[in-house]
Structure 1
């Protein structure tokens, strides 16, 4: 533990040093004077001024008192809706006011605005000018000649200078507009032109000089210059608190040096301007609480930086504490886990900074909260996968794996005399091909174990062509084999196994379960039954494997996908006595089964249900990754998906059935066991369902992002999704390389296969939420099933293509803005499309010519060998395991006719 403590302290110190080294502290010119003018809007909150955001005199009075020490004048943009209260109140603190008259296409409103502006200029001596319209020409609200008429009308009614506010290029393009005003009020906002913060001031001065050259002798006022403190980038323009502070301080200093007249936009953040895109609310140098965002003198720095660092370190330390529950973790293992925990801490601090530094309307707040809620399980899943990577790559070797029936290492019990408790092997079957089932029974008859029986139960299969040959075969195999043909059995496979228990020999101490397609090795019982010499052991599980992986390329990669679960996940879960019982190749102590209540028919995964119940009663379980039996893979991709759907639906049924037993005192489960099962469900059912849900939600967001000028914050929402995907990718590749003895090509195929069932699993979970029971669906095996004419990835194709189209729409619509957050969002959509497109790829592969591992005429070279997915020479498995499947001759004939 001392080494672990040292590692945690080292990582925490390195994390703190990283924060210290990355602390941004910039220099900018000091400004100790008073600003000549700032834009001011007396509105508060997120309500639109035209609807429900009406200022009051007290609020305006407080604002003007706040602004009086900072500026000599304020610029308004309208003269109605409560804004007309500003000039007289501003006069109380000595502020000059440039009155604005808002002009758009509403003739009646325009009339009210102009009349109010004229009246304010006449009644308030501190009004120093009127601005008729704000970017009215730029927005296309008025024609040039019509706006000039409005300006001339106001000029004839007041004794103060009158102008209009327009973007700088409008003035140059329309010199007749400049001739109609008393002074040019030009807006120069380099951010909206895509300039960087480093170019902004130079660009403003260049344009100012261009205006002076174009209109010599004319008074020129830069009526708007500013930089946003938050929001998305626009080409090279990057908003931010540092960028705003340095840009404004530099501009003010240089403007003062050349005697420029200018107005800063704006004084106070306006959260209601969310319709102006992500930067709209953030142009103020005071935030919405009327607090300064930066100092006008001294270094520019973030005063909340150390608070954020504290949050990051605290979360990192807290999330590192579970390392102490590990048994003898290695230094590298602890380092990887602590580094990952501190990475999550840094993300949490980033989320906190974003939440406290932004304004939210209901929709944006809801979207952000929903996104964060969905990210929490995603982060937990990523952390669980990192933990597994650390354990396998850098941790200690497994200590509980069975070797010849005994746990490896110091946990092995001492056996003085070999004993042979009676084993009753149960083989349930439902419409199984008789020849396949005969192979299974022949293999059982060859078991090198002196004390066993075999109970074969065929249920709900009235056709004698399926059960009569098996009955005859059991008679031929001898009295050890009991045959049962049961009709109208309820409870699916569990119901059949309950009947088998009733016909089990009274002296049988151990129950063995194998599926009808499994050919067991002779040493299965001899090797594994000795583990039951420890009276605490209630269950021993051997892995599944398959003998028909060379039927096609699809079966080859499917077999690789199955292997990952049995060589990675099950081995790690076994270390915590938390294995998933998967029915076949399973040995169960009869006493443990009775204590757990036997086979239950209320789930369609009766094996996993019973296994969990046995563990909940405190029994030990053991696992071996040595192969003792070989079954058959699903015949088709359709069958593979149906099997995975059944497993997922049954898994969700088990969650609903057992969750109360995970509460304190609900069972004898240890904290480690509860954690393993909870994370296992989250990692499988949750990850797949979450992936589909997030993908669909992101699709809904595409038009909003593309056309409503809204970007999704990458640092807190989209980049974590990419990081989680990379963790999953590393997790799969690294652990396959370390634990699963397959070739690289088969591993990549297994990855595609694993991704391809995301939609299938999520559908099962969704059905589990709204239904209690679905019918048990038998998995078609043995090469006798007929391939469906329907395309087996229709909905996956629809969603996958929509995600790609969404990404393309985002890229195309973003080309003129070049917002990085939108590009990142588009990349996320592409990544989210991969599981759906994987299903499409396998469905297409299944029907393609390259899928067949066919013999070329007069050669022994197979397709898989030609493309390098496996070596030419394959070690043959003994006996019936290599028996040719019925499909092989059909494929051979079909392809020989086409070659």
Structure 2
């Protein structure tokens, strides 16, 4: 434990050290003077001024008192809607005002604006100029000649300089406009031209010089220069608090040095400017709470940095505390888990910083909240998978697993006891084999294998239910007679309750002295040592159940079956082994041995779920019985015949699993059952990791698909650090989880592992559909998994909806990339990458559905292709058909002529 605590403290120290090391501190020229002018809009909140955002005199007075120590003048953009209150109040605090008249396509409004501006200039001595229109030519709201007429009208009625505000290139392209104004009010905003913050000031000075060269002797004012503190990038232009502070301090210092007249845009953040893209609300040197965003002197730092570091460390420490409750964790295991916990802590701090540093409309706040709600379980799933990686890769070896070495020791003890003449107890086992329309030859193989069991005290109850066709029943009844009195045959019709109903009938026909019930599916060929090896585990009276893994003997039937078998193996060699360590295995309805007393205590087979085996296993655990697992293969069944059957089987398991959650969730509350804390945790995380992960993956993919047109056409990007990057990180964790655990625990080669990964991904849509149906329905009919090769492939394509969603996700990614070619916003490219990743499970289903019906699904095709390739490149001599003897050749020619 000391080593664990030491590692935890080491990770905390390293995490704190990283925050200290990564703290950004940038140099910038100090500015101790007063700004000549800043843009000011008296509106508050996120409501648009044209809707309902009339400023009050109190708000304006408070704002101007805050601004008066920072600037000598303010620039306005309109003269109505409450803005007309600004000039007289500005005069109270000694501020000059450049009045604005908003000009657009509406002549009535234009008239009101110009008259209001003229009146403000006449009545307020602190008005030092009028700007008629703001980027009116750029927006194409007025023609140049028409705007000149408006400017001349205003000039004729006031005694202050009159101009218009336009982007710098508009002035150069329209020299007649420059001739009509008293001074040039040029907007130079390098962000909107895609220049980086490092280039911004140089670019502004270059343009300023161009204007001076183009209009010698004309007064030139840079009427807008600024840099946003948040939002998304535009090509090389990256907004941010550091970028804003350094850019403005550099610009002001150099502008003052050359005597430039300028106006900084803007004084206060304007959350209502969401229509100007992600950066619209963030141009102010004060935030919307009227607090300075940065200092004008000293190094540029984030004043909230250490608060964020504290949040990250606190969350990391809290998430690391459960490590102390693990059973004997190793140092490396602790290191990985604690590092992951602190990684989540850093993400939480990033979320907090984003939430407090941005302004949200209802829609964006709702979208972000929904995204966070979906990400919380995604992060929990990622942590659970990292924990499994840690315990398998760095934890202690399994201690409760029944291994071949343990059964060999037990066998030697039995042999020694028999040799000495000592009594050896062999409790009676009743093996139940339920069958429903199963191929007779396949079922015969199963029964023959049971007859070969190397165990002296067992019986076999074969129950065929709801199968009226004698072609399926009569051969099995005859075969049971041939195998002897140990085999009991039952042909039950009109059985209620699916497989569970049949097994209840089998229990009624079970020998009274049978202590252990064995369950095998109709396709399972057991090995002779199954009972001999595993029944001794019941010598411990606390043991209620022993489970052996499923395995399949037809994995070489096709490439599809080969990878399907590899996918099954992962569950039995990884998940079940780890769950066994906390007595929390999942019982599956074949290759399991159950103590009869435990079954009776749990209430026997129940038909209120379609996964009666897992349901019964959980009931047995809830009554306090011990369960054991072995990963030694003692039986070999058959894989689903088709991909359709594979998906139906997975749907049944997922739907049944959800039924079990609804049935048992109350027993997971403290004090409601004898389940241990570890068992509750294992089942809860297991359900979340399987049902939750698959369902969540589909929900997030569909929501992202819906969000594509908003991102592509409404200039709203997805924040990468808090929403999209965690999705990518979760995918990386899932990939690492699969690869690492398969390499460590599952004895298959790399190509088969890759195929197993595709098979595992391909059922995401299937599992999510099952969960959705579990939410809205109580019961679905039990769907038998077709095995034995008698089922023909469906003529329908088995991945239609997966193909639709997968293709739409790829199209969405393409649309995002195409629409982003000019803006080159990083978040949009990352979002497109997320869509591609999210398409993979759907495309995996499409790939398997195509594979099933293709020639390459046959191993013979691969063998022939390898031979042909070797012959073509000369590594193998070409195989020629054998020569036909002359007499045989003549006979063939005569036969051909006769035909």
TM-score (structure 1 length as normaliser): 0.94
Q: How far 1:406 moved relative to its partner?
A: 5.0
The alignment status of 1:430 with 2:436, answered yes or no, reads: yes
Give the corresponding residue for 2:630. Answer: 624
Give the corresponding residue for 1:566. Answer: 572
Q: Deviations over 1:654-685 (max 9, x none)?
A: 11111000011111111111110000000000
Give the corresponding residue for 2:321. Answer: 321
Compared with structure 1, are the counterparts of its residues 866 and 5 closer, same or farther at alpha carbon in structure 2 (3 Å cutoff)? Answer: farther
User: Partners in 1 of 2:638 and 2:188 — Cα distance?
Assistant: 72
Give the corresponding residue for 2:180. Answer: 180
The alignment status of 1:14 with 2:14, answered yes or no, reads: yes
Q: Deviations over 1:331-362 (max 9, x none)?
A: 11111111111101100000010011111000
Give the corresponding residue for 1:843. Answer: 849
Compared with structure 1, are the counterparts of its residues 866 and 24 closer, same or farther at alpha carbon in structure 2 (3 Å cutoff)? Answer: farther
Q: How far 1:407 moved relative to its partner?
A: 8.8
The alignment status of 1:726 with 2:744, answered yes or no, reads: no
User: Partners in 2 of 1:491 and 1:149 — Cα distance?
Assistant: 88
The alignment status of 1:647 with 2:647, answered yes or no, reads: no
Gaps of 5+ in 2: 418-422, 871-899
Matching of residues 44-63 of structure 1 within 5 Å: 44-63=44-63
Indicate conservation of the 8 Å contact 1:405/1:527, yes or no: no
Give the corresponding residue for 1:122. Answer: 122
Give the corresponding residue for 2:200. Answer: 200
Give the corresponding residue for 2:378. Answer: 378
Q: How far 1:866 moved relative to its partner?
A: 9.9
Give the corresponding residue for 1:799. Answer: 805
Indicate conservation of the 8 Å contact 2:816/2:832, yes or no: yes
Q: How far 1:867 moved relative to its partner?
A: 11
Matching of residues 855-874 of structure 1 within 5 Å: 861=863
Matching of residues 295-310 of structure 1 within 5 Å: 295-310=295-310
Indicate conservation of the 8 Å contact 2:330/2:394, yes or no: yes
Give the corresponding residue for 1:684. Answer: 690
Q: How far 1:418 moved relative to its partner?
A: 3.7
Q: Deviations over 1:391-419 (max 9, x none)?
A: 11111111010125959999x99998642
1:542 to 548, 554, 558: 548
Give the corresponding residue for 2:273. Answer: 273
Q: How far 1:119 moved relative to its partner?
A: 0.9
User: Partners in 1 of 2:663 and 2:774 — Cα distance?
Assistant: 12
1:459 to 454, 460, 465: 465
Q: How far 1:855 moved relative to its partner?
A: 7.9
Give the corresponding residue for 2:777. Answer: 771
User: Partners in 2 of 1:267 and 1:69 — Cα distance?
Assistant: 12
Indicate conservation of the 8 Å contact 1:269/1:286, yes or no: yes
User: Partners in 1 of 2:496 and 2:650 — Cα distance?
Assistant: 22
Give the corresponding residue for 1:787. Answer: 793
Give the corresponding residue for 1:89. Answer: 89
Q: Deviations over 1:474-522 (max 9, x none)?
A: 1111111111111111110000001111111111110000000000000
Matching of residues 476-625 of structure 1 within 5 Å: 476-625=482-631
3-state SS in 2 of match to 1:300: coil
User: Partners in 2 of 1:791 and 1:154 — Cα distance?
Assistant: 72
User: Partners in 2 of 1:46 and 1:516 — Cα distance?
Assistant: 67
Give the corresponding residue for 2:350. Answer: 350
User: Partners in 2 of 1:52 and 1:818 — Cα distance?
Assistant: 35
Give the corresponding residue for 2:191. Answer: 191
User: Partners in 1 of 2:689 and 2:727 — Cα distance?
Assistant: 15
User: Partners in 1 of 2:405 and 2:26 — Cα distance?
Assistant: 67
Give the corresponding residue for 1:818. Answer: 824
Give the corresponding residue for 2:75. Answer: 75
Give the corresponding residue for 1:753. Answer: 759
Q: How far 1:330 moved relative to its partner?
A: 1.1
TM-score (structure 2 length as normaliser): 0.94
User: Partners in 1 of 2:30 and 2:700 — Cα distance?
Assistant: 47
User: Partners in 2 of 1:310 and 1:408 — Cα distance?
Assistant: 56
3-state SS in 2 of match to 1:561: helix
Q: Deviations over 1:777-825 (max 9, x none)?
A: 0111001101100000000000000000000111111111111111000
Compared with structure 1, are the counterparts of its residues 771 and 862 closer, same or farther at alpha carbon in structure 2 (3 Å cutoff)? Answer: farther
Indicate conservation of the 8 Å contact 1:400/1:408, yes or no: no
Number of aligned residues? 863
Matching of residues 881-896 of structure 1 within 5 Å: none
Gaps of 5+ in 1: 869-899
RMSD of Structure 2 on Structure 1 (CA): 1.8
Matching of residues 464-479 of structure 1 within 5 Å: 464-479=470-485
Indicate conservation of the 8 Å contact 2:407/2:533, yes or no: no
3-state SS in 1 of match to 2:52: coil
Indicate conservation of the 8 Å contact 1:546/1:632, yes or no: yes
User: Partners in 2 of 1:655 and 1:106 — Cα distance?
Assistant: 63
Q: Deviations over 1:728-780 (max 9, x none)?
A: 00110111111100111110000000000000000000000000000110111
Indicate conservation of the 8 Å contact 2:817/2:828, yes or no: yes
The alignment status of 1:216 with 2:216, answered yes or no, reads: yes
Give the corresponding residue for 1:896. Answer: none
Compared with structure 1, are the counterparts of its residues 867 and 476 closer, same or farther at alpha carbon in structure 2 (3 Å cutoff)? Answer: farther
2:750 to 727, 733, 744: 744
3-state SS in 1 of match to 2:628: strand
Give the corresponding residue for 2:680. Answer: 674
Indicate conservation of the 8 Å contact 2:814/2:832, yes or no: yes
User: Partners in 1 of 2:810 and 2:866 — Cα distance?
Assistant: 31
Q: Deviations over 1:274-330 (max 9, x none)?
A: 111111100001000000001111111011111111111111111111111211111
Q: Deviations over 1:43-101 (max 9, x none)?
A: 11111111111111100010011011110100011111111111111111111111111
Q: How far 1:854 moved relative to its partner?
A: 2.9
Give the corresponding residue for 2:259. Answer: 259
Indicate conservation of the 8 Å contact 1:36/1:71, yes or no: yes
3-state SS in 2 of match to 1:424: strand
3-state SS in 2 of match to 1:501: helix
Indicate conservation of the 8 Å contact 1:853/1:864, yes or no: no
User: Partners in 1 of 2:91 and 2:519 — Cα distance?
Assistant: 91
Q: How far 1:108 moved relative to its partner?
A: 1.2
Compared with structure 1, are the counterparts of its residues 862 and 481 closer, same or farther at alpha carbon in structure 2 (3 Å cutoff)? Answer: farther
Compared with structure 1, are the counterparts of its residues 865 and 617 closer, same or farther at alpha carbon in structure 2 (3 Å cutoff)? Answer: farther
User: Partners in 2 of 1:146 and 1:677 — Cα distance?
Assistant: 74
Indicate conservation of the 8 Å contact 2:564/2:756, yes or no: yes
User: Partners in 1 of 2:59 and 2:220 — Cα distance?
Assistant: 33
Indicate conservation of the 8 Å contact 1:557/1:753, yes or no: yes
Indicate conservation of the 8 Å contact 2:404/2:632, yes or no: no
Give the corresponding residue for 1:448. Answer: 454
Give the corresponding residue for 1:889. Answer: none
User: Partners in 1 of 2:485 and 2:293 — Cα distance?
Assistant: 89
Compared with structure 1, are the counterparts of its residues 863 and 6 closer, same or farther at alpha carbon in structure 2 (3 Å cutoff)? Answer: farther
3-state SS in 2 of match to 1:99: strand
Q: Deviations over 1:688-721 (max 9, x none)?
A: 0000000000001101111111111100100010
User: Partners in 1 of 2:601 and 2:53 — Cα distance?
Assistant: 68
User: Partners in 2 of 1:659 and 1:145 — Cα distance?
Assistant: 75
User: Partners in 1 of 2:249 and 2:135 — Cα distance?
Assistant: 26
Compared with structure 1, are the counterparts of its residues 546 and 495 closer, same or farther at alpha carbon in structure 2 (3 Å cutoff)? Answer: same
User: Partners in 1 of 2:526 and 2:580 — Cα distance?
Assistant: 22
User: Partners in 2 of 1:548 and 1:851 — Cα distance?
Assistant: 14
User: Partners in 2 of 1:376 and 1:865 — Cα distance?
Assistant: 52
User: Partners in 1 of 2:228 and 2:867 — Cα distance?
Assistant: 61
Give the corresponding residue for 1:884. Answer: none
Indicate conservation of the 8 Å contact 1:405/1:529, yes or no: no
